[in-house]
Structure 1
Amino acid sequence: MLENKFQANLIKELKRLFPGCIVMKNDASYIQGIPDLLILYNDKWASLECKKSASASKQPNQEYYVDQMNRMSFSRFICPENKEKVLYELQQSFQS
């Protein structure tokens, strides 16, 4: 599956799982390595970096920003292979 198709389906699933959330696509040309998606839900937020597979290469700075944003709130690399686990962890984070 192409990354953009995975991302489009993921956005639909996020909106279904978290009614009323705002999902924003970040501009990688503005900050190199910033995660693809920012999810705003009630008084919480999270970021997700979409990958087409678990073995897909990571761009410069992606690990840095995912780690930094995870320390602030919640951030993960997400791909078809770990999607269910990441969405479960996100639900736990948004409920806490």
Structure 2
Amino acid sequence: MTDALLVAAGAILLTVAVGLVRVLYGPREVDRMMAVQLLGTGGVAALLLAAAATEVAGVENVALGLALLSSFASVAFVVASPRADRR
């Protein structure tokens, strides 16, 4: 069972790596931000799968920290984005 979890974590990391290309070469800021959200979500998923497959202590805490940082990055992007309806 642990092998299947680690293979799933590897597949998720592969899709996250493809998303990293989108971060680097995205045409717009919104595309880049969505790719960063993919990186955060995929990273959390891979970390949680690795934590379930192994007995390494603290991996769940790292996943939680990554989830918090990812959500704060999204909020910061929305707050900093220029909007036409601001007065």
TM-score (norm: length of structure 1) = 0.35
Query: Which one has more relative contact order, counting CA pairs under 8 Å at least 6 apart?
Result: 2
Task: Select the structure of larger CA radius of gyration.
Answer: 2
TM-score (norm: length of structure 2) = 0.37
